[in-house]
Amino acid sequence: MEKRKLLYLGNKATSFGGTVTTMESLSGHLISEGFDVISASSRKNKVLRLWDMIFTVLKHARRTQYVLIDTYSTQNFYYAVTIGNICRLLKIPYIPILHGGNLPERLRKSKRLSWKLFNGAKQNVAPSGYLLEHFRRSGYNNVAHIPNSIDVELYPFKLRSSVKARLLWVRSFAEIYNPTLAIKIVEELMNKGIDVELCMVGPEKDGSLERCKKLAGEKSLPVRFTGRLNKEEWIQLSESYDIFINTTNFDNMPVSVIEAMALGLPVISTKVGGIPFLLEDNKDAILVDANDKEGFCNAISMLLKDKEFGIRIARNARKKVEKFDWEEVKQLWFEILKA
């Protein structure tokens, strides 16, 4: 297959203390396969980031086969709209990669802008069946499903035959991910007489980290905050914990959940957005309602009482995520990028 020169526009969050984004991991994979990938932007300031993206497109337009655009539902949606307009003007094929569990609402609220952006694309890539379904219902026929990928061999599977309430939470500290719920879960478990500890991994995003620290400190709860860790550090950390909790209010196909499944951590998650398309309740995870503190506590108690149940869902989860290995997923990208 002839390798292509690509522009990839999105957010290089690690350059200013954020977690690794899909842009950073997918760019690395494509480069390893021989693609020539130029990416932007590492600017933290949103206005400067947009200008950096625009400049990058204009500078490399004549030598670029495709432009990949990480596309979200909130303010960053307008980055994609702007870049899409430029690509259509310059007649460069572009491929929005759909992120964010609230994109279906964006399709409803911004119908005209959405239609110009997504219908004008060579192809839209939906990492989850959730977004694939919503986009097709909205009349978009140029949508392909390519899941977020991981290198499965980097995630050693640990079967936890003895489970304690050692909880792990991995995400950016942002209100949409509802990190304070994790603190409330710890408090409720302690009130029930359960020996519990929680480790929360991730960088500050909107003040949520400080609010969590304050809440845990006021109540003297056994909560550890590590800040941002690189992948190797949090994989090593995961060996000391037995249950992964995902408290989010909005989501699509979170890589941190996929990674937890690969590591053998039984996952308890809210059933929001694309989560039910990724996880099957009582088969490879336990699903509860959004903001349901009692539901999380009951699920944790179930895992503590029924070790075989936890082992079964952990094994099923690992088997599922092996299909998200890059060696499998890359063939789907090749089909899009070869034409």
Domain contains 338: no
Question: Over its length of 339 residues, how does the chain's per-residue pLDDT go in tens digits?
Answer: 456 799 999 887 665 555 667 788 899 999 999 999 999 988 888 899 999 999 999 999 999 999 999 999 888 899 999 999 999 999 999 999 998 778 999 999 999 999 999 999 999 999 989 999 999 999 999 999 999 999 999 999 999 988 999 999 999 999 999 999 999 999 999 999 999 999 999 999 899 999 999 999 999 999 999 999 988 999 999 999 999 999 999 888 889 999 999 999 999 999 998 899 999 999 999 999 999 999 999 999 999 999 999 999 999 999 999 999 999 999 999 999 985
335 part of a folded domain: no
Q: Are residues 159 and 287 in the same domain?
A: yes
Partners of 98 in the β-ladder: 71
Asked if residue 179 belongs to a domain, the reply is: yes
Q: In total, how many domains does the chain have? A: 2
| Residue 179 and residue 317 in one domain | yes
CATH of the domain at 223: 3.40.50.2000
Residue 337 lies in a domain: no
Residues 224 and 314 reside in one and the same domain: yes
Query: Do 88 and 185 lie in a common domain?
Result: no
Neighbours of 305 (CB within 10 A): 10
Predicted confidence at residue 102, as pLDDT, reads: 85
Amino acid 338: pLDDT: 80
- Statement to judge: residues 142 and 158 lie in one domain: no
* pLDDT for 1: 46
Same domain? For 287 and 307 the reply is yes
332 occurs within a structural domain: no
3-state secondary structure the chain: CCCCEEEEECCCHHHHCCCCCHHHHHHHHHHHCCCEEEEECCCCCHHHHHHHHHHHHHHHHHHCCEEEEEECCCCCHHHHHHHHHHHHHHCCCEEEEECCCCHHHHHHHCHHHHHHHHHCCCCEEECCHHHHHHHHHCCCCCEEECCCCECHHHCCCCCCCCCCEEEEEECCECHHHCHHHHHHHHHHHHHCCCCEEEEEECCECCCHHHHHHHHHHHCCCCEEEEECCCHHHHHHHHCCCCEEEECCCCCCCCHHHHHHHHHCCCEEEECCCCHHHHCCECCCEEEECCCCHHHHHHHHHHHHHCHHHHHHHHHHHHHHHHHHEHHHHHHHHHHHHCC
Do residues 218 and 139 share a domain?
Answer: no
If asked whether residues 182 and 289 sit together in one domain, one would say yes
Written as six digits, the tokens of 173 are: 């500290």
Look at residues 100, 127, 146 and tell me which one is the last residue of a structural domain: 146
Residue 330 lies in a domain: no
Which among 90, 125, 146 is the end of a domain?
Answer: 146
- Shared domain for 136 and 166, answered yes or no, is no
Residue 331 lies in a domain: no
Q: What is the pLDDT of residue 42?
A: 86
Are residues 209 and 132 located together in one domain of the fold? no
Do 292 and 187 touch, CB atoms closer than 8 A? no
129 in the same domain as 53:
yes
Domain final residue pick, 146, 166, 190: 146
Note whether 166 and 142 are same-domain residues: no
In a domain, 48, yes or no: yes
Domain range for residue 183? 152-323
